[in-house]
């Protein structure tokens, strides 16, 4: 299984961009990078996913390096409500992994006033 | 569009009992997956259902089971409850089983075993 490495914790000032890195050096060509976040006592919230190209939606941008070995999730203007644990997940495309997301420990992002 | 709904939100049981948790997926979603979250083990995959068939199963004992109905709603059952089964149980739904289709989670059922 492709594994991901994320920093344990990060701080960000309110109103500034939050850039969350993720390393996935063993990723294969057909495996997607997904980002979720989890605010205390809630279920994980889907943020964004991508394969090769950079992606943007109303919540965030996902930048994937050309060699696909790392990615960065960007929250353009962080607010206090963005304080959460952020999970970077590589979705392994095999028949034994249907419906399965493998969560690591994630990055705890603390947005400060 | 309504999100994934899980009932009940909180449940207290005693050792040896059994419990059934319910999950209603987002309208139109046909795949449902279940996860267990504990402070020690984090989020772990339990099983996935699609078209009323279990397609994948995680590394959990046979006391954990599930099913899916024709309307895509799903239930999971845990029999002979143990203290270690205390956890947040999360359900996630997606349109189908493709790896390009994101799963959307409910807020879970918090199960406490006394």
pLDDT digits (tens, 9 = 90+) for A17-76: 999 999 999 898 888 999 999 998 899 999 999 999 899 999 999 999 999 999 999 999
Instruction: Give, rounded to a whole angstrom, the gap between the first and last alpha carbons of chain A.
Output: 39
Confidence (pLDDT) at A30: 85
- Which of B42, B56, B107 has its CB closest to that of A43? B107
pLDDT in tens, B49-99: 999 999 999 999 999 999 999 999 999 999 999 999 999 999 999 998 888
Res A96 pLDDT > 60: yes
* Closest CA relative to residue A70, chosen from A9, A27, A15: A27
CB contact under 8 A, B56 and A105: no
Cα(A20)–Cα(B53) distance, rounded to whole angstroms? 37
pLDDT at residue A2, rounded to an integer? 57
Contact check, Cβ <8 Å, A99/B106: no
Q: Is the peptide bond before B8 cis (omega within 30 degrees of 0)?
A: yes
Q: Where are the beta strands (DSSP E) in A17-113?
A: 18-23, 32-38, 45-50, 55-56, 61-64, 70-75, 84-91, 107-112
**Chain mean pLDDT for chain B:** 95
Q: Nearest CB to B105: which of A32, A41, A43?
A: A43
Residue of A nearest to B87 (CA): A41
CB B107 within 8 A of CB B83: no
Phi, psi for A34 (deg, rounded to 5)? -115, 150
- Give the percent of chain B with pLDDT over 70: 99
**What is the rounded distance in angstroms from the CA atom of residue B75 to the CA atom of residue B107?**
15
């Amino acid at each position: 299984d492709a594994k991901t490495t994320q920093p344990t914790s990060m701080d960000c000032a309110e109103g500034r961009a939050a850039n969350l890195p993720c390393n996935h050096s063993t990723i294969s060509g057909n495996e997607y990078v997904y980002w979720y976040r989890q605010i205390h006592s809630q279920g994980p919230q889907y943020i964004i996913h991508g394969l090769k190209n950079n992606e943007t939606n109303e919540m965030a941008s996902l930048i994937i390096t050309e060699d696909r070995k790392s990615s960065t999730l960007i929250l353009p203007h962080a607010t206090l409500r963005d304080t959460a644990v952020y999970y970077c997940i590589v979705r392994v495309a095999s028949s034994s992994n249907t419906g399965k997301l493998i969560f690591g420990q994630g990055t705890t992002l603390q947005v400060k006033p | 569009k309504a999100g994934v709904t899980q009932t009940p939100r909180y449940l207290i049981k005693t050792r040896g009992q059994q419990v059934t948790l319910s999950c209603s997926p987002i309208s139109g979603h046909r795949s449902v997956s279940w996860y267990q979250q504990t402070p020690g083990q984090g989020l772990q995959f339990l099983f996935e259902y699609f078209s009323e068939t279990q397609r994948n199963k995680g590394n959990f004992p046979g006391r954990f089971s599930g099913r899916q109905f024709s309307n895509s709603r799903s239930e999971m059952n845990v029999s002979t409850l143990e203290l270690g089964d205390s956890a947040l149980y999360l359900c996630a739904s997606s349109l189908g089983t493709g790896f390009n289709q994101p799963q959307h989670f409910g807020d879970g059922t918090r199960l406490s075993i006394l």
